[in-house]
Every structure is written in C-alpha cells, then in structure tokens.
C-alpha cells in the first residue's frame, strides 16, 4: 500500500506538471494509474461513483475513465444523462429522485400530492431505462417530532408503494448527518430509518446508508451495518472528517467496513462519494481498490 501510494503521489505530481506544460492528456495520466493499480477487481463489491464529486470532468470523458477503473455505475444523474451511460455500457445504480431537494421531503403532508405525482411520472422512465432504484429524502424537521415525521413519511411513501412495486422500483431514502452538513434533516439515524421501513411495510422501500454521514452522526459503523443491513439498499463512502479520500488520512478503516457489508450478503452497489483533494481520477482508482476486498 505504501509503495503504491508513493507511486500515485509521483503520478499526481507529474500530472500537474505535465498539464501545466500541455504535454499529458487524461488518458495518458490514467494509463500510468492503471500500471500502478492494475485493473483486475475481486468482484465482491459492485462499484459505483457519484458524478457530482467530479463536476469539472465531462460526463462522456468520466464514463470512459470509470469503465477503465472497473466502475460499472455512475449515479445521482437524471434522464438527460442516462443515454451517455448506456453508450458506454454503464448503469445508474441510484438515479436522481423527482422531489424538491433534501430539505423538503415526505415528512411534510402538504407536499405529498406533488411528490407522489412526480415519482409516479418518473417510475416508467426508470423502468424503461432498466433502472431499479431512485433516491428520496425525509425533509427537515422544522420543529416536528421524530414520530410525527416518521408517520408523515410513511403516509406518503405508502401511497407510492403500489406503483413502485408495479414498476419494480425501490425507493431509497438517504441517511444524512444533521450535525455538520445538513442541519435539521430528519432521517439522521439508522434506527429512525429502520422504523420508517417497518412502518412503510414494503420491500420496495430501503435506506441509503452513507458511511460518512452515519459515522459522524452515530458511529459504530460496522455494528450498525450488521444490525440493520436488511433495511439498507445502497451504500456511499466518504472520508471522515471532511468527506475527502478514504485512505489512511482519515479515521475510518474502509477494508473492514467493506468486508462487513459483504458478510451481510449484500449484492448491491457501493458508491464512492468523496470530494478528491488530489488528482481526481487517481484518487478514484485508489479508493475503488481500497474497497475491493477479497
């Protein structure tokens, strides 16, 4: 690991110098990255990545480079981007939802009619594209109790379950921390999300366990995954603190976390959702390898 990381740092330094001189393309950079990391993956983790973390790289270019790494999904994208993924044989493991963002969600009864219509309009498009999941959010508390928010969410989500089941779509609600990044967000503890899953009462509603967010909010990542894995339909990564690379520069040990996920029998995707501080594609390749447990 140390030798590989030193080589990666050298590549990153060379990339910066070469880019300044105009002598090294992205493809050339990645060719060097491949020579260090290798491209053969173990196959126990299905690798995805969130595009928003790499906003400066055009999707067409990003898709080609992700495929070289061994990533088979680019997520949190809408219908306008799906044809590009199809062009390169990639999927979207978790497409964007049809809601109103993170702060306004299913805990607000006044928004249910609009949310239900938006998701019911989106479900056929997801099915046609071959996608089986979609993200959703609880919304902020705004003084609401946890129980009232859970009940309100369940009322709205239960209205959508017949259509979700008909189209083969699983709605995935993201767990986010309300301590640092998303103040007042309601679905901020795994136990609350699991309670909502029970209240909704359908296998077509699950949780997105964001490892970064839940490490900040409640800790005990591996124990929590083992306890609540039946409610989890998707995972995101991120280094703590700062949501940067998931290497030894942060406090979580991702190989052990990935092993715990595999041991639960999980067959879905794990998406890299860190904000790279170094050369983005080099960091992405390295973090995929860190998560690619044998």
For the chain, how many structural domains are there in total?
1
Residue 57 in any domain: the answer is yes
Residue 165 in any domain: the answer is yes
- pLDDT for position 99: 76
pLDDT at 20 exceeding the cut of 90: no
pLDDT at 24 exceeding the cut of 50: no
Residue 127 in any domain: the answer is yes
Residue 9 in any domain: the answer is no
Residue 64 in any domain: the answer is yes
Any idea what the CATH number is for the domain that residue 222 is in?
3.20.20.150
- pLDDT for position 14: 41
- pLDDT for position 25: 53
DSSP the chain: -HHHHHHHHHHHHHHHHHHHHT---HHHHHHHHHHHH-S---SSSEEEEEGGGGTTS-HHHHHHHHHHHT--EEES--TTTHHHHHHTT-B-SS---SSS-SSS-TT-GGGHHHHHHHHHHHHHHHHHHT--EEEE---B-TT--HHHHHHHHHHHHHHHHHHHHHHT-EEEEEP--TTTTSTTBS--SHHHHHHHHHHHT-TTEEEEEEHHHHHHHT--HHHHHHHHGGGEEEEE---TTTS---STTSS--HHHHHHHHHHTT--SEEEE----SS-HHHHHHHHHHHH---
**What is the pTM assigned to this prediction?**
0.88
Residue 134 in any domain: the answer is yes
Residues of the domain holding 251: 26-291
pLDDT at 127 exceeding the cut of 50: yes
pLDDT top residue among 164 and 14: 164
| pLDDT tens-place string over residues 246-262 | 999 999 999 999 999 99
Residue 75 in any domain: the answer is yes
Residue 42 in any domain: the answer is yes
């Amino acid at each position: 690991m140390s030798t590989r990381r030193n080589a990666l740092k050298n590549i990153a330094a060379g990339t910066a110098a070469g880019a300044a001189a105009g002598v090294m393309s992205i493809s050339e950079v990645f060719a060097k990255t491949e020579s260090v990391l290798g491209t053969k993956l173990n196959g126990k983790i299905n690798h995805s990545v969130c595009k928003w973390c790499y906003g400066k790289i055009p999707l067409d270019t990003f898709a080609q480079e992700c495929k070289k790494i061994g990533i088979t999904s680019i997520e949190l994208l809408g219908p306008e981007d799906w044809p590009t993924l199809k062009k390169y044989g990639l999927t979207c493991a978790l497409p964007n939802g049809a809601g109103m963002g993170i702060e306004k969600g299913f805990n607000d009864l006044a928004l249910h009619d609009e949310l239900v219509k938006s998701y019911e309009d989106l479900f056929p498009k997801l099915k046609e594209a071959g996608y089986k999941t979609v993200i959703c959010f609880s919304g902020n508390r705004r003084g609401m109790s946890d129980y009232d928010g859970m009940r309100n969410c369940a009322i709205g989500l239960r209205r959508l379950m017949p259509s979700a089941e008909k189209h083969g779509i699983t709605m995935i609600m993201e767990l986010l921390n309300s301590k640092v990044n998303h103040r007042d967000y309601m679905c901020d503890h795994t136990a609350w999300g699991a309670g909502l899953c029970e209240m909704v009462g359908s296998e077509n509603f699950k949780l997105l366990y964001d490892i970064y967010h839940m490490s900040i909010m409640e800790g005990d990542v591996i124990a929590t995954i083992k306890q609540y894995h039946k409610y989890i339909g998707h995972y995101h990564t991120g280094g703590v603190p700062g949501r940067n690379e998931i290497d030894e520069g942060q406090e979580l040990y991702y190989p052990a976390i990935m092993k715990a996920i595999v041991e639960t029998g999980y067959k879905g995707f794990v998406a890299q959702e860190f904000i790279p501080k170094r050369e983005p594609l080099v960091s992405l390749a390295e973090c995929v390898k860190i998560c690619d447990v044998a």
